[in-house]
Every structure is written in C-alpha cells, then in structure tokens.
Amino acid sequence: MRLPAGGRCYDRRVVAAPALGRLTDDQRAIRDAVRTLARDRVAPRAAEIDRSAEFPEDLRVLLAEQGILGLPFPERHGGLGADLLTVCLAIEALSAACATTGLILAVQVLGALPLLLAGSEEQLGRFVPGLASGRDLIAFALTEADAGSDAAAIRTRAVRDGETYVISGGKRFISHGSVASLVTVFAVTDPEADRHRRISAFVVETASPGFSVSRLEHKMGIRGSPTAELAFDEVRVPAANLLGAEGDGFGLAMRTLDRSRPGIAAQAVGIAQGALDVAVAYAGQRRQFGKVIGEFQLVQGLLADMDARTEAARQLLYTACEEIERGAPDAGRWSALCKLVAGDAAMAVTTDAVQVLGGYGYVDDFPVERMMRDAKITQLYEGTQQIQRLVIARALLARKP
Amino acid sequence: MRIVVLVKPVPDPGEERLGDDGRLDRSVTAVINGNDEYVLEAALKLVEAHGGEVTLLSMAPAGITDPIRKALAMGATRAVLVSDPALAGACSWSTTQVLAAALRTLEYDLVLAGADTSDGGGGVVAAGVATLLGLPYLSHARRIEPLDGGVRVERLSAAGHDVLEATLPAVVVGTQLLGEPRYPSLRGIMGARAKEIAVRTLAEIGLADRPVGGAHATTALLAARQPAPRGSGRVVRDPDPVAAASAIVDFLVERRAL
C-alpha cells in the first residue's frame, strides 16, 4: 500500500471526472490551478498541520502569493473579483487536501463579507487592499459563550464616546481570532431596541489596546485553524469603522451567512472528495481473500454511495452559488440547503472512507481519520444543521401560496 | 531584454501512448515540456529584474492551446504558434527550420530553450536553430546573466562549470538548475485569456512550398514499442548513513554486482 499519511489523497488519476459543463473556462482554469497547488504543496503538509495544531503560516503566504486570497475581493481594490462559485471551487480544491487550509480562504470570506456588503467606499479602500493581497487576515466575531445559535442574544457592548466606540465583552469560537489583523465584531449598541436592531458591526484592528486573545480551543478537527476566545477590555474603535448604520448588525450578520455558508459547503464537498479518492485508491490496491477489495460488492456499494453523496452535494452547492450570485430572493434558503446537504455528506462519506480502509482507516498512517474529524465541524459552524433546517423551513412557510 | 522562449506541448508524462500509426498519440492531455518551464522561469526572472518581455514560440497542432495558455499565465507576454496540417509527422530537421523561420519574423535579444523534450528527446533543435540563424549557442546553462549587449552563462561541465559570454542575439539552452518554475497565479490565469496567441501557417513564416513537414521527414519511424514496465525500485531510507550504505552494499552483493 503506497498512500502515505496526509499524502497523495488528491492524485489526479484518482479523482472521478467532474462535470465540466456548467463551469466557465476561467472557473475551470482556476479550479485546476488550485487543485495542482493543493496536490503539490498543501497535501504533503496536511498530516503535520493536524498533528502540530499549528496555523500553517507558510500556506497562508502561498495562498496570498498565488492570488487565492484575493479571489473574493473587488478588482478596484486589488482583488480578483471572482464570483461566489469560483471562490467555492478554490475552497473545495484546497479542502480536499487539507480542511484547515481550505478554511483560510473560507474564513477570509466570512470575515470580510460584512465589509463587502455594507462598507463605504472609504472603508473598502482602507481595509480591502491588505485583505486582497493576503497580507491581512480578517476574522468574524459574532458568537459568544452564551450566544451561539441564538446570535441576537450577544452581550458584548459598544458605547459611543465622541468619535469612537468603546467595545467591552468577549467572543468565543472565533476562527483565526489569534492570527487575524482585523476582526469584524458584532456588539450591542442599543440594549433597549428591538431584538434585531440592538446590534452593530465594527471593523476592529487587533493591534488596538484592550484587545486580547484569552485562550485557544483544543479541537477535534481543523486543528491547524486557531479558534480563539477574544477579550475586549474597553477597546476604542473609530466611529469610521462602523459598518452601515447603528442597529444594522444583526441583519448584516444574517446576510453575511447567506453568502458565506456555501464556503463551508465547499469545504465539506472537498473533504468528502478527498476521502473518496483515498478510499478508491485503497480499494484498488488492498488485497484480501486473493483479490483487491474493490472487487467485493459490499465495498463497491460503499464507494458508490460515497460518490453519489459527494456529487449530489457538489451540484447543489454549485446551483446555490449561482442562485445566490444572481440575487435570488431566497438566497438564505439556498445557502442553508447546500451547507446542510454538504455537511451531512462529508460526515457520512468520511465515516464510510474509514470503513473502507478498516483498521488502517482508524490510524493516522492514512488521512481518512483526520478527514472524518475535520468533517464534523461542517455540521456545526456557521449555523448547526438544526439551524439550517430552521432557515429552510421558515423560507418555505413564508412563501405566499 | 526581449526574450523568445521555445516551448513544446508534450503528452503529460506518464500518459504517453503510441497511436496505431506508431506515432505519439497527441490527443492525450498536453502539458508544456518540463525543461521548457525551467527556461521560461529563467526568462521571466530576467525580464522582472531587467525589464523587457517574453514571447513564447511553439510549433504544435492548432487545437493545443491549453499548455500555451498556462505558459502565458506564468507571465509571458504573448505567444506565436506555428501550426500547419503539413507539419504532422515533422522530423527534428523540419522543426528546426520552422522555428528558425518563425524567429526571423520576430524581434528578440535572446532565445531560450530547454535541454530536450520528454516526448522526442532529441535535444538537437535549439542547436540547429542557432546554426541556421548564425547565432552564438550556449548550452547547459545553470545560470544566465545579462551583460551590456551580451549574455554570460554558467555552463555545466564535468568538473563544475565554464563561464561563457556571447554577444546578443544568442541562443541559450538551460538546465533545471536554473530554478523551479513558478505556479501560475490566479491573476495570471485570468489575465492569460486576454493575451495574444498568434497562429502562423508555413506560408506566413515564408516556408510555403519548402521541403518541410511530414512529407519531407528526413527520419522515418520504422517501429515503436512500449517498453516492458520496470519492477518497482527500492528506496533505502535510513537516518543512519552507515546502515543505509551497508544496506545498499548488501543489495548489490546479493545480485553479484559487487
């Protein structure tokens, strides 16, 4: 058996032929380029990133140099102006090799979306060039210890004082919170207002006095992606960093998630494809009872179901991206649908991949146990699968007959 | 500095196969010849440091533009693709004449080429081009540096390297010691679509009715066969160099090679 740990899980000759019809030439070329990079430069690092639980700064630099971190940003501010599907193709290709690395781009999208959706031209000009070049990372700080799914219940406060706001409180489970130079922070500006008008969004520079990382989580998967608890001790933020108007924060957070969840779905599809590729390669080499195990129908059944789940999730993701990009009124439904289906597919497919590899799948000589641990988070973050169902059902029930 | 890099689309190494006519099947995925990517990288570094631009020159069937596009995405300015149905089955001598004729239509200071190709492997075309054009020929370069009106090359030799200098224009053949080729950036990929690939026929480079192409091949393919697959090699990995060395010695003694 010749599959080293974290190694060639994305061999070109192993990958099932993807449907090309719906992709433009640019999308196809970008996907192929990112896939090559993922195979050559990211996959060989994946096992070590997982083992050491250290943020892969070398790969952040690589993504920056290659322009991958510039994909989601407008061209006039130094980005590549790629559409949502193209961004997701890149996240998918990276995540097939290493979910932590795919997340570098997904979190950059998540953190920057409030700015891209509500930022003034002055704010875009101030912050986007650094983000598009990949010099700066940006995190998204909504969740608090007691406000996860119930995001409107956050308690971090922002109090206006002349030309600044003073932010006090804490945030938890913030991806990249310890490596980002900017954080989009959601804080209560008017405790008396209606539940969905209490909150405002600010771009906070992490170099600001009073900002600190109070601890890092020890996680089951995506171990190279630092998940931080952030403390805000009277952090002064210029009023010029308020995104949109006071009270816009909650709506902005929800609109952000409408566009960011496909990134997580893309990460999930990538993880699933990576696991499927390893399982197919293994089934073609591992011999038991005198033949390769891929000749046994029970193994074939597992592989076929894995492929069906992965491809179905992928096609739903691509459709969701197209619907959201064209401004569909039920964008929230599409983004919830694709994350729900893709997250569950990633969990099922990686679990089956471990099954195909048997005992070898359970040990870290092969990457599938890592992929299974990485897959779990896609059912949890940016809204649990239960929240996705709420979003979908509410969209259905709100439809006029 | 205006640099022309000779690039050849070749079948993706590992996927080469012979067609029924015994010729290489060129319908499989084509990539830029590996050695050519190294000299392209060197050319890009030279123009980044000293100004100028890089033009790709290739002879290939007209449909094979993906590898050329990738080389453009790495940073070349434009590409010239000589393509003519009469060139199918061309020999190295035809290729040499075609590239030399195409170069006569271009302005350049330096022509760079890779040591050889992964499909044909002749390694003679660049020398032939230099001869036909009457240009200095500097081979096996591991380092290329511009001089005022000239070029200095470190040429690999058995004992180390020779330092060669020539006036421009000149033809330089590079080795992989020039440095790893870059990955095309996404910006480069998106920009490459807008770059020009000028397709030229034999007539357009002044070779109409000349004895070049498959019908005038100076070499003929008599037979071709796929070699039997080699058994997998054995790699000795031992952190202790003494143990590794004795493992290799044992292996050779076992086979009476020592």
Closest C-alpha among B2, B12, B74, B79 to residue B38: B74
Closest C-alpha among B153, B154, B97 to residue B125: B97
* B186 interaction partners in chain A (CB closer than 8 Å): 30, 33-34, 66-68, 70-71, 80, 82, 90
Are the CB atoms for A350 and A276 separated by under 8 Å? no
Domain locations in chain B as residue ranges: 2-216
How much is the pLDDT for B11? 86
How much is the pLDDT for A31? 95
**Element (H or E) spanning B3, and its range?**
strand B2-6
- Most A-contacting residue of B65, B186, B195 (CB-CB within 10 A), to test interface: B186
How much is the pLDDT for A15? 41
Query: How many CA within 13 A on the CB side of residue A367?
Result: 36
Which comes out higher in pLDDT, residue A206 or B220?
A206
Residue A20 — φ and ψ, nearest 5°?
A: -105, -20
Is pLDDT at A204 greater than 70 in this prediction? yes
Average pLDDT over all residues of chain A = 94
How much is the pLDDT for A100? 98
Is pLDDT at A9 greater than 50 in this prediction? no
CA distance A16 to A392: 31
Whether the CB of B251 is below 8 Å from some CB of chain A: the reply is no
Is pLDDT at A19 greater than 70 in this prediction? no
Cβ within 8 Å, pair A67-B73: no
Is pLDDT at A67 greater than 50 in this prediction? yes
Q: How many A-B residue pairs are in contact by the CB < 8 A criterion?
A: 36
Is pLDDT at A221 greater than 90 in this prediction? yes
- What is the tens place of the pLDDT at every residue in A174-201? 999 999 999 999 999 999 999 999 999 9
> What 8-state DSSP symbol labels residue B117?
-
Cβ within 8 Å, pair B186-A37: no
Ramachandran region of residue B45, left (φ > 0), alpha (ψ -120 to 50) or beta? alpha
Are the CB atoms for B38 and B74 separated by under 8 Å? no
How much is the pLDDT for A301? 98
In three-state secondary structure terms, B226 is coil
In three-state secondary structure terms, A240 is helix
Fold assignment, A25-132: Butyryl-Coa Dehydrogenase, subunit A; domain 1 (1.10.540)
Cβ within 8 Å, pair A26-B193: yes
Cβ within 8 Å, pair B186-A65: no
Residues A299, A301, A304, A306, CA torsion sign: negative
Q: What is the CATH number of domain A138-247?
A: 2.40.110.10
How much is the pLDDT for B113? 96
How much is the pLDDT for A400? 62
How much is the pLDDT for A56? 98
Tokens 């390669």 found at: A281
Question: CA triplet A172, A178, A182: central angle to 5 degrees?
Answer: 95
Confidence tier at A320 by pLDDT (50, 70, 90):
very high
Secondary structure E strands in A80-197 = 138-141, 157-161, 164-175, 182-188
Q: How far is A362 from chain B (nearest CA, A)?
A: 26
Nearest residue in B to A80, CA atom: B187
In three-state secondary structure terms, B1 is coil
Whether the CB of B193 is below 8 Å from some CB of chain A: the reply is yes
Are the CB atoms for A164 and A239 separated by under 8 Å? yes
> Which regions in chain B score pLDDT beneath 50?
none
How much is the pLDDT for A5? 40
- What is the tens place of the pLDDT at every residue in A285-306? 999 999 999 999 999 999 999 9
CA distance A382 to B225: 57
CA distance A394 to A332: 10
CA distance A243 to A40: 39
Interface of A with B in 20-59 (CB under 8 A): 25-26, 29-30, 33-34, 36-37, 40
Strands B170-174 and B110-114: parallel
CA distance A85 to A64: 19
* B185 interaction partners in chain A (CB closer than 8 Å): 65-67
CA distance A382 to A376: 13
Q: Lowest-confidence range among A34-43, A249-258, A321-330, B23-32?
A: B23-32
CA distance A55 to B95: 51
Interface of A with B in 57-96 (CB under 8 A): 65-68, 70-71, 80, 82, 90
Token digits of residue A369 = 């146990």
Is pLDDT at A20 greater than 90 in this prediction? no
Q: How many residues does chain B have?
A: 258
Beta bridge partners of A73: none
Is pLDDT at A1 greater than 60 in this prediction? no
CA distance A139 to B24: 52
Nearest-by-Cβ selection for B189 from A33, A65, A70:
A33
Tokens 């005992």 found at: A359
How much is the pLDDT for A401? 58
Enumerate the active-site residues of A: 382
Whether the CB of B237 is below 8 Å from some CB of chain A: the reply is no
Give chain B's largest Cα–Cα span: 66
User: How far is residue A273 from each of residues A88, A261, A278, A338, A372, measured CA to CA in Å?
Assistant: 14, 18, 9, 16, 12
Tokens 């493992």 found at: B247
In three-state secondary structure terms, A25 is helix
Token digits of residue B26 = 């060129």
Q: How far is A106 from chain B (nearest CA, A)?
A: 17
Whether the CB of A210 is below 8 Å from some CB of chain B: the reply is no
How much is the pLDDT for B19? 76
Are the CB atoms for A371 and A99 separated by under 8 Å? yes
In three-state secondary structure terms, A156 is coil
Cβ within 8 Å, pair A70-B186: yes
Token digits of residue A116 = 């891209």
Whether the CB of A133 is below 8 Å from some CB of chain B: the reply is no
Are the CB atoms for A102 and A270 separated by under 8 Å? yes
Q: How far is A133 from chain B (nearest CA, A)?
A: 11
> What 8-state DSSP symbol labels residue B232?
P
Whether the CB of B189 is below 8 Å from some CB of chain A: the reply is yes
Whether the CB of A164 is below 8 Å from some CB of chain B: the reply is no
Among 2.60.40.10, 1.20.140.10, 3.40.50.300, 3.40.1190.20, what is the CATH number of A250-398? 1.20.140.10
Q: How far is B106 from chain A (nearest CA, A)?
A: 29
| CATH 3.40.50.620 is the classification of domain B2-216 | yes
Cβ within 8 Å, pair B186-A34: yes
Q: How far is A96 from chain B (nearest CA, A)?
A: 19
* A37 interaction partners in chain B (CB closer than 8 Å): 183
Domain locations in chain A as residue ranges: 25-132, 138-247, 250-398
Asked casually if ipTM beats, i.e. exceeds, 0.90, the reply is: no
